[in-house]
Amino acid sequence: MFDNKMIVEDSLKATDTGFSIKARLPYYRGLGLSMIENVAISIDGEAVPREDITLSLRGRTWTLDEMETEYGDRWNFGEKALVGVRRAGGLAPGEHRIELAETMRISYLPFVPTTKDAKVLTLR
Amino acid sequence: MTIKRGVSLYSYQNETFLGKMTLEDCIRTSVEFGANGIEVIGEQTFWGWPEAGVAEDKIAEWHHLIGKYDAVPVCHDFMLDYKRYKGREMPFDEQVASVKNDIDFAARLGVRYVRALVSITPEVLVAAAPHAEEKGIKILIEVHAPLHFDHPWIIRHAEAFEKSGSDALGFLPDMGMFLSKFPPVWKERFIRNGVPPHIADYITKAYEDRVLSEYVILNVREMGGVGPAIGMAETLRHNAAYEPKRMLDYMHRIHNVHGKFYQMDEDLVEPCIPYGDIVAVLKRGNYDGYICSEYEGNRWIEDAHEVDSVEQVRRHQAMLKQLIGAPATDALAA
């Protein structure tokens, strides 16, 4: 559910260390951060290493490894997280194809789902 | 004594996810349809719950809106994330404490019931029952497909509930377990995902013929089905047309009902869930709790259509109003 709403339209921005997008969870509730197993990004077909990705919510920032032991905060229902990507040389202005895959450890499911979205966003 | 109507705000998830409907919109809309009972998934409606907590002003806003629209808080659906820690399950005592925390939250919301997910063990719920009794709240485990009232896991819960002697433990049946036909919105989505129409037709017919899921999966494989075709066939593992009258043995512990639906057609019919039979059974069992609409067609159509949860809920409520108001029939006697 909400697969096609994971990547927030028109959210690609350049940052000092690379770029960022905004993203939501494909889920009918939020989830505690320790249960977010992965947030994978690829840009124009090139996978970004896990250690180069951060997630920010309401002004707090975590690496994906730090999130695994964060028991005091959550990614809320429909909440737009800022996903930061470290990328040497940044990103050229123009259109870029972003692929996003989020993996959630959901207590009642007998599997660990990974849900994907892909969109072409423009860096202005 | 009559069956009452409510809405689970889960129904409006497409609109609330995108910020198109506020909590006030959800409550006002439901009450306008004659559904004054409001059910929430606490952590969907209230950001922060449970890990970061919910500030008192948000709870005050809830009570203000409930009062403004003369609504009734019915149920808080809690989750209990026992897989919070990677690689190890949450210890028993912590699970019980987590349930108690949700009971306290439910008390803040003023609801009489909390919904427990069906995967939670009966021992955890029995251990939390005294706390629920103190707060005047009942813990209802959701009986949801693929589980059903004759499944050993549910029977184990029923036995534990009786043995506990607590009336704070009960059931919340989800009407999706009475799926009489393969939903057209599912079939259409699987076809959009690449299932060849002749295989989709076969699975739909096999479902209506009550063919064992494992045979259907094998046959689809032999028809050349792969990927989404196998996925479509595998939905038969998780869904079945159980009989609504199986609820009758448990009426003394059924206190809320999820009015699950996948699509409401213009003629006010849910083509795949037999609401006429369901309401007749509930009347026969003297059920006087709420049926809370729970629209779940959204996820099946969102890739191709604009989701209109409000219109879907309107139709579902109009259907329920007709069925609840209709004179009792003796159709069940047959």
**SS3 call for A117:** strand
Q: Which of B294, B298, B291 is nearest to B260 (CA)?
A: B294
Residue A3 per-residue DSSP state: G
Domain-wise residue ranges, chain B: 4-180+241-333, 184-237
% of residues, chain B, pLDDT over 70: 98
Measured over the CA atoms of residue B20, residue B22, residue B27 and residue B29, the dihedral's sign is negative
The model's pTM is 0.95
| Predicted local distance difference test score (pLDDT) of residue B326 | 87
Cβ-based burial of B212 (10 A; exposed 0-12, middle 13-18, buried ≥19) = exposed
CB–CB of B111/B76 below 8 Å?
yes
| Predicted local distance difference test score (pLDDT) of residue B18 | 96
Give the tens place of pLDDT for each residue, B234-273.
Answer: 999 999 999 999 999 999 999 999 999 999 999 999 999 9
The Cα–Cα gap between B64 and B208 comes to 47
Over residues B134-159, mean pLDDT: 97
Over residues B120-140, mean pLDDT: 98
Angle at the Cα of B293 from the Cα atoms of B140 and B289, rounded to 5 degrees: 50
Position B146 pLDDT exceeds 70: yes
Cβ of B52 within 8 Å of Cβ of A73? The answer is yes
* Blockwise average pLDDT, block size 10, chain A, 124 residues: 95 97 97 98 97 98 98 98 96 97 95 96 96
Could you tell me the CA-to-CA distances from B323 to B2, B272, B329 in Å, in that order? 12, 16, 11
With a CB cutoff of 8 Å and minimum separation 6, the contacts of B201 are none
Give the tens place of pLDDT for each residue, B200-235.
Answer: 999 999 999 999 999 999 999 999 999 999 999 999
Position B136 pLDDT exceeds 60: yes
With a CB cutoff of 8 Å and minimum separation 6, the contacts of B214 are B237
Give the tens place of pLDDT for each residue, B44-90.
Answer: 999 999 999 999 999 999 999 999 999 999 999 999 999 999 999 99
Which chain A residues touch B if contact means CB-CB below 8 Å? 1-5, 24, 28-35, 37, 68, 71-74, 76-79, 105-108
Report the residue of chain A nearest B19, measured CA to CA: A78
Band of residue B160 on the pLDDT scale cut at 50, 70, 90: very high
| Predicted local distance difference test score (pLDDT) of residue B186 | 98
DSSP string for B140-209: EEEE-TT--TTSHHHHHHHHHHHHHT-TTEEEEEBGGGB--S--HHHHHHHHHTT--HHHHHHHHHHHHT
My answer on whether omega of the bond before A110 falls inside 30° of 0, hence cis, is: no
| Predicted local distance difference test score (pLDDT) of residue A3 | 92
Q: In B, which residues are within 8 Å of A68 by CB distance? A: 86
> What's the mean per-residue pLDDT of chain B?
96
Cβ of A28 within 8 Å of Cβ of B41? The answer is yes
Q: In B, which residues are within 8 Å of A4 by CB distance? A: 302-303
Nearest-CB residue to B51 (from A1, A68, A73): A73
The Cα–Cα gap between A71 and B191 comes to 41
Band of residue B334 on the pLDDT scale cut at 50, 70, 90: very low
* Residue length of chain B: 334
Helix (H), strand (E) at residue B294: strand B290-295
Nearest-CB residue to B84 (from A32, A79, A108): A32
Q: Which of B76, B262, B70 is nearest to B184 (CA)?
A: B262
Which chain B residues touch A if contact means CB-CB below 8 Å? 10, 13-14, 16-19, 41, 43-44, 47-48, 51-52, 79-86, 117-119, 298-299, 302-303
Could you tell me the residue range of the domain that residue A37 belongs to? 3-123
Cβ of B52 within 8 Å of Cβ of A74? The answer is yes
Report the residue of chain A nearest B118, measured CA to CA: A108
| Predicted local distance difference test score (pLDDT) of residue A122 | 98
Position B101 pLDDT exceeds 50: yes
Band of residue B1 on the pLDDT scale cut at 50, 70, 90: confident
Q: How many CA atoms lie within 13 A of B152 on its CB side?
A: 0
* CATH number among 3.40.50.800, 3.90.950.20, 3.40.50.1110, 3.20.20.150, domain B4-180+241-333: 3.20.20.150
Nearest-CB residue to A4 (from B84, B119, B303): B303
Nearest-CA distance B326 → chain A (Å)? 34
Cβ of A108 within 8 Å of Cβ of B298? The answer is no
Q: In B, which residues are within 8 Å of A106 by CB distance? A: 83
**SS3 call for B247:** helix
Over residues B174-197, mean pLDDT: 98
- Tokens at residue B157, please? 């819960």
CB–CB of B28/B36 below 8 Å?
no
Domain count, chain A: 1
DSSP string for B209-221: TT--HHHHHHHHH
| Predicted local distance difference test score (pLDDT) of residue B328 | 67
Number of H helices, E strands in chain A: 1, 11
CATH number of the domain within which A106 lies: 2.60.40
Position B12 pLDDT exceeds 70: yes
